[in-house]
Structures are given as structure tokens and as C-alpha cells.
Amino acid sequence: MSDVIVESPDYRAFMAATKAPSFVVAELDGRWRLCEVKWPNALIEVRAATGAFTLRFDLSGYPSHPPTAQLWDQKTNARLTDPLWPRSKGGRIGTVFRTNWMSGTALYLPCDRVTINTHPAWQTQMPAQLWRPDGSIVQYLEVVYELLNSLDFLPPSAQAA
């Protein structure tokens, strides 16, 4: 599953998080699945109301530095094309899954490294939603899972090839 030769502290911390009960129970429940680790990246598939979406995480510095993630196409090994992104009925999914935010290379979430670094005011405006350095990848995955299974979710406008 991994091409890591020397296990760095961030790698060890992430792998420990994937063995913690909160990650394992959700994985057994089918909420998400760890697909691949090629450090510092990990592919995790998250089940949606219909289908599933793969996130490609950059976990450099984990957990003291927040992860960042983008929707990923495992077949092409590239960013998921815009027509395959989840759609919104007008709610939060349309805000979080924005192809026009950072060219679709980060999700618009307060727990995402790229997004929080560009929104310093969020430190005081929404502290409960920020990445917790003492937390785990489960924090990020739970937010994505809840969104993809919310009443706001619409499947992509196109089918994967």
C-alpha cells in the first residue's frame, strides 16, 4: 500500500490514525476506504448518497499541519474533471466542492490547509470548524461524508468513463 522507504513522523501519525477505532469503524461501515498511500499523499474513497468520490490528500506535516485534498480520478491518476464533481441543490455542497476555487485543487473547508491559509479571519469566525492538530484525518472525512450524504447532494452531471 505504501512506497515509503523511511517512515517520517507525519507518515507514522497518519498510519496510526487509520488504525484508530474512529477510522476503522467508519471504514467497516462503508463510509470511506483507504485506497493507497504514496507519501505524502493518500487516496481515500468516500461514499456518497449515490456512488463514491476519491479524495487525494496531501498530508505533509500531518497532524500538526492540516491536510489538503482534491477530488481525484483513480483511473486517470489526475484531478477529477469538472463534470464528474458532486452537484448542489443550492446549499453548502456548492460552496465546498467548487471547481473554481484554487482550480479545484482544494476543498473550500475550514479544515483544509490551502483554504484556511487564504482565510485568516476564519481563525476567529469559525474556530470549531478549523483543523485540530491533536485530531485525526477523521475530522476532514466526516465533513465530506456528511456533505456527500446530505439532502443538498446531487450526482455529477456526467458519468465516469
d(CA 49, CA 128): 26
Cβ-count burial of 13 within 10 angstroms (0-12 exposed, 13-18 middle, 19+ buried)? middle
d(CA 125, CA 46): 28
- Residue 78 grid coordinates: 489526475
Given 17, 111, 138, 147, the catalytic residue: 111
Residue ranges of alpha helices (H) inside the chain are: 9-19, 21-28, 92-96, 113-117, 122-125, 137-148
Is 35 catalytic? The answer is no
Instruction: Supply the residues annotated as catalytic.
Output: 111
